[in-house]
Amino acid sequence: MLNLYDCNLRGYLNHLFAGQIGPGFPSLESFEWGPKFAQEDVECLGKALTRGMLSQLKELDLENNDLTGDLKLLFEGPNHPGFPEMEFLRLCNTDLCQEDVESLGDAIKAKKWPKLKELDLSENTLTGCLKSLFTGPDHPGFPCLEVLYLFGTRLDEEDVQSLSSALETGMFPELKELNLHGYMFCETVGPEMQALKDACRQRGSRLSISETSLAQEFVQELDNEVVHGLDEDFLQELGDEFVQQSEDEFVEDFYDEFEFM
């Protein structure tokens, strides 16, 4: 195991994998790095993976790094061998954007993680792009995946529907746990969420869930951190108003009305 978490080595990862050839770390099974990644570190790690210098890696933990737009650097290229032994991929709180999720979906469809047992995408805003992981012709599914972590994410109807469809069509034959604890949803997602619960029940997969609406999340943050002790009816009115607008529009209108904020 190589644990470099919280080490101030930003921009120095190339020293671990210097040179175009070499044995690399043929026995290394676990690599953890963060939260001070630089883009050149991601590129360097991607090149090392492409050259097979971490061929026996079973666990890659990059949580709490800013990987926005850079995730594809870890697995792109026609000569990339994939991750034949990897079982755990942790990308919690890595600021993934739509491009990142789509590139991850493409890599999964290319069977670059044939033995993946645990995928953690928690605390990322996946709204509208989660389906990229589960859709496409000739999708191989997740034959070994046992745990999927999506807690603290924001999901819309399409996301939840694609997830339940993937379960219903047998894309997760070994799934034991789907963790959506603390996920935030749009209020219109109710029927899709019920379908997801039914799909998990039919498959015998444990669904860990604690639902928080976007309105509830904003109002709770407002009451706890900004203007303590607001009237409860007023807070409810704010929540109702929030769901009828985009988040940015609501916040802008609210700030204009209350100068003290």
Res 225: pLDDT: 41
Residue 56 has pLDDT above 80, yes or no: yes
Q: How many domains does the chain have?
A: 1
Residue 85 belongs to a domain:
yes
Q: Which of 48-62, 115-129, 198-212, 220-234 has the lowest mean pLDDT?
A: 220-234
* 249: number of Cβ within 10 Å: 11
Res 66: pLDDT: 87
Residue 33 belongs to a domain:
yes
Residue 240 belongs to a domain:
no
Assigned token pair, 257: 């009305």
Q: What's the pTM value of the predicted model, to 2 decimals?
A: 0.76
Q: Which of 3-7, 64-68, 190-194 has the highest mean pLDDT?
A: 64-68
Residue 111 belongs to a domain:
yes
Res 160: pLDDT: 84
Q: Which of 8-17, 41-50, 252-261 has the highest mean pLDDT?
A: 41-50
Give the range of the structural domain holding residue 115, as residue numbers without chain letter: 2-228
Res 43: pLDDT: 84
Residue 18 pLDDT grade (very low, low, confident, very high; cuts 50, 70, 90): low
Say which residue the tokens 């046992």 belong to.
146
pLDDT, average across residues 151-157: 80
C-beta separation of 55 from 82 below 8 A? no
Residue 249 has pLDDT above 60, yes or no: no
51 alpha carbon, distance to own chain's centre: 26
**How far apart are alpha carbons 236 and 14 in whole angstroms?**
53
Residue 94 belongs to a domain:
yes
* 111: number of Cβ within 10 Å: 12
Tens of pLDDT, residue by residue over 102-150, are: 999 999 998 999 999 999 999 898 888 888 998 878 889 999 999 999 8
Domain CATH for 99 = 3.80.10.10
Q: Which residues contact 118 (CB under 8 A, 6 or more apart)?
A: 87, 88, 89, 90, 145, 146, 147, 148, 149
Residue 67 belongs to a domain:
yes
Residue 254 has pLDDT above 90, yes or no: no
Nearest Cα neighbor of 124 from 63, 76, 168 is 63
Residue 245 has pLDDT above 90, yes or no: no
Residue 191 has pLDDT above 90, yes or no: no
Residue 210 pLDDT grade (very low, low, confident, very high; cuts 50, 70, 90): low
Residue 216 belongs to a domain:
yes
Residue 243 belongs to a domain:
no
Q: Which residues contact 147 (CB under 8 A, 6 or more apart)?
A: 117, 118, 119, 175, 176, 177, 179
